Structure 1
């Protein structure tokens, strides 16, 4: 122990020398900062992320926020604690966080071989902006939906007193109220001497409203100094006494309330932080902030858009071409060839002496506005001068989605103006009754790909990250407009997902927790194989019927009806599914929805089986500011009834971050660990990799724990995602790309 203590004192001295040396070397840089305005770019700069993955000092929070739409990923380690955090600046004043932590050498109930793994969510709201005389003021909840290991609440203020120097002071409850408390507010349940009792750390998932801002309250504070654009020094006084780490682990001691840190920010925004903590430990952290709103999407290898071709006045009234079938056919061929070079397929074209309607399928561009603009400009170069009005019908695999009316004269007048000058002159209508016939040679259409794949399963306490990797072949054929067959073959080469245990903490049928049984195969398997038919039964209505092997676990039939006017932010839908379990080997076999391997009949709800029929009614609404909401109400795979609320923020460049929560008639005890289904989704546009524009994306779901309650079947090609991208409210958001 004496040797360990000497090491700690030596570490503190080294940290002090490092901070003093850095401060002395940066004195000249600070003089330049003193000449700047006090509040220049305060809200636009990337903050320092603390060890909990939020804007803060070292371990303590500040009142600061990241720039709006910043996605922050941090990985840190100190002592026996490792934390990985994902934070998102949901709104300029609201930031949310998901955290996964590992405590080594622990005897906390629920540990696995001495390691305890914890999942937690945080939320912080800024109440007041910083002004010339007043500090920024924020309130935060830490681990408010989790096990309670890190649970705490705080009110904190931060003020820049001179350029680059910010002072923070706050009052904390829960863990943040355990070191030298100065007041007590009521009684906080599940605590011993003001600190969380480790023996009552729960399975998590439920908000503990009766504990918020209750119990002992303690002060914390600190100072940060931005020496220049790269270096930052921090010192803080911590109000967390780390009782759990000291009493329930064998490798942590808290000898001081003061922490010290230094950040270095690289030119790309990545931050490296080094810390001296609690008089006994050294720590390090890497932070990767990315602003999704301003993230650039490369398309440098795409061909330049064609310029608008003004019509010679003498040719505007030349109509002879309209009576020549040969000329009309030649015009269609020329337009089709010109558009395919732009990544757009011409599926049909109808023309009169003064109007032209082009039916197109956008094959390349992530946003429809860019495809509309390129199609319109190409039409000005190919179509006869007498045609003054264009209609562009947007389709998806032959399904008409919307019709866009554009006056040719407006294209000629506003080509060199901002795209927003064109938007009020464009009209969006439903495509029903306005769609030209499909060319004979468009369908059937084939497509395929062969790529490596990586599937992962996170947060298994026995192995926090399980993976499966291999080769995957995708194929699709559009047999006729709206009739599509698609399938995926996978050949796994390795991984350990199959080694995950079928969790027994849930009393529901194993509709999802038995997935490892479906991964335990070495040969070629069918991940999905479906035949789908899409139709327009009436104006504003869309229909889908899908049959086949819908996903890795289930086969069956799925039917969906969607009501979505082309100019409306609101959509309503209904889906019904009849499903059966597939055989584990990934072949063509079908089994009953109850097997000895999957069901724990003595504990299962009802008779130990789960129903074949499930479905939902859904409401979708575009809130504006990039926010979309979806509410699904109905019956889930395990036979439970309830609702799922999804809120997502989307950006013009294709990034998307969302969160969802499902509550059903299943109790927390029946659901098992996690109490109810919830998670975060992140969609990454492949265009960030550079090169040509592409519509390909990857969506990952971060679900703290997979359970059987609130589970839905995965059906490819659901309607809302296909339809809304071609409608007015969505196109308006990206209209700035009309001329690109």
Structure 2
């Protein structure tokens, strides 16, 4: 079973809704994307091939035959590396103590050799290398293309992929496979034991239709009830090693296929493929910015070139703020404060619309060329997030005027831009009275999901969520959210926790049964800057669905550094199952020291070391691949001093997380993002407090690396 936060579940529902809507716009089929096989990885029908998906390709595949259903999420992590997570169901298998058996598995494959004129592509892969072991196998495969329509593949498989047609054991015997609780890499089995050949051929009959045939080395012994060491009921009869079928490309996002498998069964699959480089709507359909207004020459219009002409005017900051707000408010940019001096202006703003931080900075710079007197040469532009000044971008007005229409103007402006710590608000700044106090509320539908319960792999609730926030002064925010279920079946989960640890997460079915209506969150947060390159936060209240208390955090992150260091400490108590205002007896002090590092080339790493909710000590490593348009796909793993036996099924906490900006679907600028986190199983070990307002994600987009990633949009 898997538990994710309410926000993640709402985002997941919205994500797949938007993905489905995107299909209607992906009308062409001109993307050269190799087939995804029944395992959801690049292959033929049931066997792998050495071809690769386009870089960044994210695919969801559903395959079914003989009562076996495989649901696979695959990601082309790098041009040569593909990773996959699979959830499979076996109807009436009577295996492992379950009538209908469900299995989770992870795969990874690496392209060792790219295809050349005379040599084939060569790939090595590990199948179910850290799952329960039911699908565990390894392979080496080569693929050669002939022209632009024919491919031929051949390879050797081990483990699961050598249960039919073995030719011997070239690298020694293989330890007996035991399908277990999963979570541990089965190193001792890799490429050991019998090996068996497999082969396949694909022929692209038309631009949309591909014909496929293969010789399979998968004997399906458990599915046929022929594995005496692991008893099961036969769900089909394998009469042949040959498979045949076709794959039809509906458009750039969707493929469907139908197959005749193993001489006895009909099967089908459908795949949905998205790619950060392939948005459903090309270009941007947001409103164009107003033009930059160059200053007149001093000789033509001397008024304003001397600070004495305007600096002594009554309420000069307020007048400038009014002019800026008139232009920027319709663009979703809120001017928070202005401090104008003779040759410099400090403007602090909040961005409520642009997902590209550099684009928001550029819009403010444009507005300043139209609002500031001619003597003001230096623009100090400070983005503010929840009262935190994230950084200061300093631009010379002369550079903006000179480069507006110049070739390579984005790179040239970045070269002369200053990016650094924002520092405190100037003492003479005027704060926008129209912004504070600030009250916001929203009423929206929500969907909460539960995955991977063996009794029912997917459950959901749908209802209404009401959220509100109140910010009386910059940085002090009171916020909360309540939900009311309308339909759903999460309360039908009767599975009791068998955890040996404090049940900090595995009692989530009790919250689903008793917590309606639910107070999801009710907090008071204060954000502040204790010093240069430092950011601070204190949050108290009902912090998340299962815990309430107090959380304090400090972050050290220079704006020009790839590295950030943070520390967080929390004292929390477990909430009552009815999700009202009461608490249970369990309390804990938990916290982490965190290191954040921008590795470069689109990769970001995070290491959290500390104490988790169940009192266990350990560390979590998270690695994300991040794209310039805001896509993020990553994975995490947590190891603590809890043994695999104490942890239970899965052996340790791990998962996959996905985030896609809504603007990718619509091509309209928005700060909204859709995302979800998938855990193969939810246990109590390695469980971290879900605090919604941690510091690093709030400020990093406005630091140098975040701005540089999207600086090409600074003029848009």
TM-score strictly above 0.5? yes
Once the two structures are superposed, residues 581-614 of structure 1 have per-residue CA deviations (whole angstroms, 9 ceiling, x without a partner) of 1122111112211xxxxxxxxxxxxxxxxx5111
In 1, Cα distance between equivalents of 2:667 and 2:649: 44
| 2:580 counterpart of 1:587 | yes
Q: Which moved more, 1:582-591 or 1:691-700?
A: 691-700
In 1, Cα distance between equivalents of 2:318 and 2:546: 49
Equivalent residue for 1:401?
Answer: 390
In 1, Cα distance between equivalents of 2:551 and 2:281: 36
Checking the alignment, whether the CA contact within 8 Å between 2:481 and 2:522 is kept in structure 1 is yes
| 2:616 counterpart of 1:640 | yes
Equivalent residue for 2:15?
Answer: none
Give 3-state SS (helix, strand or coil) of 1:234's partner. Answer: strand
Give 3-state SS (helix, strand or coil) of 1:323's partner. Answer: coil
In 1, Cα distance between equivalents of 2:594 and 2:107: 29
Checking the alignment, whether the CA contact within 8 Å between 1:502 and 1:513 is kept in structure 2 is no
Once the two structures are superposed, residues 98-143 of structure 1 have per-residue CA deviations (whole angstroms, 9 ceiling, x without a partner) of 00101112121132xx211000000000111111111111100000
Equivalent residue for 1:87?
Answer: 74
Aligned match of 2:155 in 149, 170, 190? 170
In 2, Cα distance between equivalents of 1:407 and 1:229: 53
Checking the alignment, whether the CA contact within 8 Å between 1:63 and 1:156 is kept in structure 2 is yes
Aligned match of 2:558 in 555, 562, 565? 565
In 1, Cα distance between equivalents of 2:417 and 2:563: 21
In 1, Cα distance between equivalents of 2:279 and 2:667: 15
1:408-447 matched pairs, under 5 angstroms: 408-416=397-405, 417-418=407-408, 419-433=410-424, 435=426, 436-447=429-440
Quote the offset at 1:652 in angstroms.
Answer: 2.3
Give 3-state SS (helix, strand or coil) of 2:310's partner. Answer: helix
Q: How many residues align?
A: 671
Give 3-state SS (helix, strand or coil) of 1:527's partner. Answer: strand
Quote the offset at 1:328 in angstroms.
Answer: 4.9
Q: For residues 668 and 213 of structure 1, do their structure 2 counterparts lie closer, same or farther at Cα, with a shift above 3 Å needed? A: same
Equivalent residue for 1:275?
Answer: 259
Detail structure 1 runs of 4+ shifted over 3 Å in the superposition.
296-302, 326-329, 433-437, 501-505
Aligned match of 2:33 in 21, 24, 46? 46
Give 3-state SS (helix, strand or coil) of 2:294's partner. Answer: coil
- Structure 1: runs of 5+ lacking an equivalent: 1-40, 192-199, 594-610
Give 3-state SS (helix, strand or coil) of 1:494's partner. Answer: strand
Checking the alignment, whether the CA contact within 8 Å between 1:394 and 1:401 is kept in structure 2 is yes
Q: Which moved more, 1:295-304 or 1:397-406?
A: 295-304
Aligned match of 2:635 in 659, 663, 680? 659
Equivalent residue for 1:229?
Answer: 207
Q: For residues 311 and 335 of structure 1, do their structure 2 counterparts lie closer, same or farther at Cα, with a shift above 3 Å needed? A: same
Equivalent residue for 2:599?
Answer: 623
Equivalent residue for 1:538?
Answer: 531
| 2:262 counterpart of 1:253 | no
| 2:505 counterpart of 1:521 | no
Quote the offset at 1:440 in angstroms.
Answer: 3.6
Q: For residues 665 and 303 of structure 1, do their structure 2 counterparts lie closer, same or farther at Cα, with a shift above 3 Å needed? A: same
In 1, Cα distance between equivalents of 2:649 and 2:321: 61
Q: For residues 630 and 503 of structure 1, do their structure 2 counterparts lie closer, same or farther at Cα, with a shift above 3 Å needed? A: farther
Q: Which moved more, 1:263-272 or 1:483-492?
A: 263-272
Equivalent residue for 2:501?
Answer: 508
1:141-152 matched pairs, under 5 angstroms: 141-152=126-137
Give 3-state SS (helix, strand or coil) of 1:315's partner. Answer: coil
Q: For residues 587 and 505 of structure 1, do their structure 2 counterparts lie closer, same or farther at Cα, with a shift above 3 Å needed? A: closer
Quote the offset at 1:503 in angstroms.
Answer: 4.3
Give 3-state SS (helix, strand or coil) of 2:532's partner. Answer: coil
Q: Which moved more, 1:218-227 or 1:207-216?
A: 218-227
Checking the alignment, whether the CA contact within 8 Å between 2:547 and 2:572 is kept in structure 1 is yes
Give 3-state SS (helix, strand or coil) of 1:262's partner. Answer: strand
RMSD of aligned alpha carbons: 1.7
In 1, Cα distance between equivalents of 2:566 and 2:524: 21
Equivalent residue for 1:68?
Answer: 55
In 1, Cα distance between equivalents of 2:127 and 2:659: 26
In 1, Cα distance between equivalents of 2:93 and 2:320: 75
Checking the alignment, whether the CA contact within 8 Å between 2:541 and 2:548 is kept in structure 1 is yes
Q: Which moved more, 1:244-253 or 1:140-149?
A: 244-253
Equivalent residue for 1:737?
Answer: 713
Quote the offset at 1:162 in angstroms.
Answer: 2.6
In 2, Cα distance between equivalents of 1:170 and 1:209: 21
Give 3-state SS (helix, strand or coil) of 2:224's partner. Answer: helix
- Structure 2: runs of 5+ lacking an equivalent: 1-29, 226-231
In 2, Cα distance between equivalents of 1:188 and 1:46: 35
In 1, Cα distance between equivalents of 2:417 and 2:644: 52
Quote the offset at 1:495 in angstroms.
Answer: 1.9
In 1, Cα distance between equivalents of 2:577 and 2:492: 14
Equivalent residue for 2:104?
Answer: 119
Give 3-state SS (helix, strand or coil) of 1:485's partner. Answer: strand
In 1, Cα distance between equivalents of 2:126 and 2:163: 16
Quote the offset at 1:525 in angstroms.
Answer: 2.1
Higher relative contact order (CA 8 A, sep 6+): 2
Checking the alignment, whether the CA contact within 8 Å between 2:387 and 2:528 is kept in structure 1 is no
Equivalent residue for 1:605?
Answer: none
In 2, Cα distance between equivalents of 1:65 and 1:212: 22
Give 3-state SS (helix, strand or coil) of 1:246's partner. Answer: coil
Q: TM-score, normalised by structure 1?
A: 0.88
| 2:231 counterpart of 1:242 | no
Equivalent residue for 1:450?
Answer: 443
In 2, Cα distance between equivalents of 1:139 and 1:150: 16
Quote the offset at 1:627 in angstroms.
Answer: 1.1
In 2, Cα distance between equivalents of 1:466 and 1:563: 41
In 1, Cα distance between equivalents of 2:62 and 2:162: 25
Aligned match of 1:201 in 179, 185, 193? 179
Once the two structures are superposed, residues 313-368 of structure 1 have per-residue CA deviations (whole angstroms, 9 ceiling, x without a partner) of 13363441222225553232111211112211111111122221211111111121
| 2:247 counterpart of 1:263 | yes
Once the two structures are superposed, residues 372-421 of structure 1 have per-residue CA deviations (whole angstroms, 9 ceiling, x without a partner) of 01111111112112222211011112211100011111111221234223
Equivalent residue for 1:189?
Answer: 175
Equivalent residue for 2:293?
Answer: 309
Checking the alignment, whether the CA contact within 8 Å between 2:388 and 2:535 is kept in structure 1 is no
In 2, Cα distance between equivalents of 1:490 and 1:434: 38
Equivalent residue for 1:7?
Answer: none
Quote the offset at 1:494 in angstroms.
Answer: 2.6
Once the two structures are superposed, residues 184-204 of structure 1 have per-residue CA deviations (whole angstroms, 9 ceiling, x without a partner) of 03121125xxxxxxxx31111
